[in-house]
Amino acid sequence: MKVTADRDRCIGAGMCALTAPAVFDQDQDEAVVVLLDETPPDDARVLVEQAVDRCPSGAIHVR
């Protein structure tokens, strides 16, 4: 699994960090997404896919 996060698209809604906190965080200043793990283990896939679905800006992707 490979995760990407586009910080230019992110609007700081925080759904990713709430949904999959082992993979996503937000920076302290602008609340923009911080990708903690580009290649999370396969057992994280369900949460990562939920985070992708919940992101209102389409900033995160998984393949």
Contact set with ligand SF4 (CB under 6 A): 5, 10-16, 24, 26, 33, 55-57, 59-60
Characterize the bridge pairing of strands 3-5 and 60-62: antiparallel
**Residue 4 Cβ vs ligand SF4, minimum distance, rounded to whole Å:** 10
Instruction: Answer left, alpha or beta for residue 20, where phi above 0 means left and psi between -120 and 50 means alpha.
Output: beta
**Residue 41 Cβ vs ligand SF4, minimum distance, rounded to whole Å:** 20
**Tokens linked to 16:** 């990713």
**Residue 28 Cβ vs ligand SF4, minimum distance, rounded to whole Å:** 13
